[in-house]
Structure formats: structure tokens, C-alpha cells
Amino acid sequence: MIAQPRCPVCRHFLYLDTLVCPFCDAELGYHILSRQFFSVRKGRAVIDDQVWYTCSNRGWECNWLVWENAPAGRCFSCRLTRTRPDPDDTIALSKLAKTEEAKRRLILQLGDLGLPIVPWDIKPGGLGFDLLSSISLGRPVMIGHANGIVTIDLAESLDDRREALRIKLGEPYRTMLGHLRHETGHYYQNVLLTNDQDWARCRDLFGDERASYRDAIKRHYSMGAPDGWHENFISEYATMHPWEDFAETFAHYLHITGTLQTAAAIGIHLDESGTNLRDTDVVPLGSYRDEPVAQLLSDWEWMSEAFNRINRAMGFGDLYPFEISPAVRHKLAFMHDLVTHAPLTTEEQFLLVYPQETERA
Ligand SMILES: [Zn+2]
Ligand SMILES: [Zn+2]
Ligand SMILES: [Zn+2]
């Protein structure tokens, strides 16, 4: 059974960003070790005889709980934010809340996948986030990654801005969560590829990442994606440079496993009669860690088609507006291999994130 986010008082299902239960008004905090909500009184909750406090960013809608000795009372997710707007920049801070929500979802998923997270303030090159607003700064903020630090333009949490960019760039999908998944892909390329063999396989699939990035940008924005790119790439952006192809593929691995995990938690499965072409039901799993990539991709093929049909029934565009070609399957298989064999180099690294990981069922 996968942990369902529920209200501890009235047992109603809750979305991950809930601060106060909309059904019974209980004040709540989210405990990342157990993936459960707990009632909070006067900013504290007692969980397994240990006192947890609400995150010091609760005023900016962070609902995670913090154990007593966390630096500055910030939760693990907030601690990863290296730069945020000034305290008096309330307009930028209101956009921060939405972005931080997407970031908390990302971090939970990285933990579920067993990927190590070393914070930027522990080790140079560790993971950190600079969350800046191009509107407040009055200059462009380039979304990107450098040496562990992910930079995000908070202005993209404004729907009109993000949609305008999406249309201008001809992208079928553009979300804050998607940006975060893509940029952490750059971080994990260096973390997960640990030897020459891995890099050789990676270059085989994605191309040589030592090719000039500057030339690649110029070519991409003057000439666009090459004809027939669908056959080899998951998106047009992935065609730009081997780094971008890796990051795009990583993001898709997270899209796929994250959505299947949610489907599994809800209990959605497809009856074989609905698919016509199968003689077994499609039952998504909370984790594909011990499964071959073929099962992950087969489950996704059926489930994404079903989700697309549901979206269309409401007049929306497809939930997953992408096509996975045989070449992209090979890239995703490599990603599955990397993620399921992630080097959890020392226990401490992992413990930083989930101190009681071993107790989690
Ligand atoms: Zn409730
Ligand atoms: Zn927090
Ligand atoms: Zn990128």
C-alpha cells in the first residue's frame, strides 16, 4: 500500500499543499519521513515521541514539518533554496509559494526514487536553488543549472507569461514542475554517471556532451530542430545538445514514474476490456525499482493514453502530449538503469534527507 495523504482527524484525502483541512479545519503539517499529515498545535506536532515544528516558511505556505535541530527552523526543501526574493518583495514572494510547492513535490519524488540529495551548503556542487523573479529584478533570469545550483525565474509561475513563452517556443508542455525536473536532470547527470563505462554508454545514446554548447544554442535558435527529430528525441529542445537531451529524458522519467505512482496511490487501473488489445489489466505500481523498464513503459503507454482520453473529455489538451519512439525507449531504459542503481555513497548523505528512512515501509 502506498501512503495516501489524508487528514489525521477526518480521514479525508488531501492535496500535498494543504495547510488547513478544508473539511474539518484541522491545522496540519506534512511529515516527509512517513509521508503523512499530522495535526499541529501551537506550531508543534509530536510524532513517535519526537517533537516536530512547522517550517519557518509556513507564512509562505510551506506545510512541511521540521525536526528540532534543523538549521534556522527551515524544512529540508526550504533549506535547499539558496536565494529567494528579498523579504519586502511581497509580489515575488507570493510567486515563490507556488514554485516551492512544485519543488517540494520534486524532492519527495527524488526521495521515493532513492536518489541522493546533498545540499549546496554541505558540499560544493551540492543541490541548491536560486529562486529569482525577472519582474522584481527588472532583468531576464535564465532558467538553468550550474554546478549544482538550479536557477528558476519565478515570473514563470504566472500563467499568462508561461503560456506565452510556451506558444512562442512551440512547446506542447511547460510547467514549473517540468522546469524543476529538467534542471535537476543536469545535476544528476554528474551525480549518477560515476565511471568511464557509464559515460561511454551515455555518449552512445545522447551524443558527446563535450560538443560546444554555445554553437548548439546558436544553431538551435536559428535553424530549429532537425527534420524527423521525433524518431530520436522526446522533444525539440532535446535536439539542441546532448546535455539537454539527457535532462529532457530525465524529466520524462520523472513525469512517467511520478504520474504512475499517483495513479497507483489512487487505485486506478485499466480493465483489459477497455484497452481491447490486452488480455490482462494494466495495474500501475507505486515503484518500478524492481521491475524491468519494459513494464514501466508498457504501463505508461496504456495509462497515458487513458489520461489523454480523460483530458480530451474535458476539452483539455493531452495530459502527456509526447510520443516515445524506439530510440527514446533506449534512452529511458538507460535512465531506469541509472536511477535504480543510484550510488547512495554514504549513509549520511541519504540520512540528511530522510533520517529514519530505514523505518519507512
Ligand atoms: Zn480533516
Ligand atoms: Zn519549508
Ligand atoms: Zn537544460
- Domain boundary assignment for the chain: 1-75, 80-181, 193-343
CB-based contacts of 318: which residues, under 8 Å, 6+ apart? 172, 307, 308, 311, 312
How many CA within 13 A on the CB side of residue 43? 10
Q: With 70 as the cut, is the pLDDT of residue 17 above it?
A: yes
Q: With 80 as the cut, is the pLDDT of residue 277 above it?
A: no
Residue 2: the pLDDT is: 63
Measured distance CA(199)–CA(327) in Å, rounded: 18
Q: How far is the CA of 247 from the centre of ligand 3 (A)?
A: 6
Cα Rg of the chain (Å, integer): 21
Residue 354: the pLDDT is: 41
Q: Which ligand is nearest to the CA of 53?
A: 2
Q: How far is the CA of 83 from the centre of ligand 1 (A)?
A: 34
Q: How far is the CA of 276 from the centre of ligand 3 (A)?
A: 39
Q: What is the mean pLDDT of the chain?
A: 90
CB-based contacts of 283: which residues, under 8 Å, 6+ apart? 264, 269, 299
Q: Which ligand is nearest to the CA of 19?
A: 1
Q: Which ligand is nearest to the CA of 37?
A: 1
| Segment 199-253, tens digit of pLDDT | 999 999 999 999 999 999 999 999 999 999 999 999 999 999 999 999 999 999 9
What letter does residue 143 receive in the DSSP assignment? -
| Segment 46-72, tens digit of pLDDT | 998 889 999 999 999 999 999 877 777
**Buried/exposed code over 191-225 (b: 16+ C-beta within 10 A; e: otherwise):** bbbeeeeeeeebeebbbebeeeeeebeeebeeeeb
Q: How far is the CA of 265 from the centre of ligand 1 (A)?
A: 19
Q: How far is the CA of 257 from the centre of ligand 1 (A)?
A: 29
Q: How far is the CA of 27 from the centre of ligand 1 (A)?
A: 9
How far is CA 109 from each of CA 114, 301, 304, rounded to the nearest angstrom?
8, 21, 19
pLDDT top residue among 352 and 177? 177
At 344, the pLDDT band (50, 70, 90 cuts) reads: low
Q: With 90 as the cut, is the pLDDT of residue 89 above it?
A: no
Q: What is the mean pLDDT of residues 66-93?
A: 84
pLDDT top residue among 358 and 329? 329
